[in-house]
Structure 1
Amino acid sequence: MTDFTKRVLQIIQGIPPGKVMTYGQVAAVAGSPRGARQVVRVLHSMSAKYGLPWHRIINVQGGISAPDESEGKVNYQRSLLEAESVRFDTAGKVDLTVYRWFPEDAKES
Structure 2
Amino acid sequence: MDPLEEAREMVIEDPGILSGTPVIKGTRVPVHDVAGMFDAGVPMDEILESYPSLKKRQVELASVYARAFPAPKRPRRHLVDLEHVTIIKRERLSLSALTSKSRKTTS
Which bin holds the TM-score, normalised by the shorter protein?
under 0.3
TM-score (norm 1): 0.25
Q: Which has the higher contact order (CA 8 A, sep 6+)?
A: 1
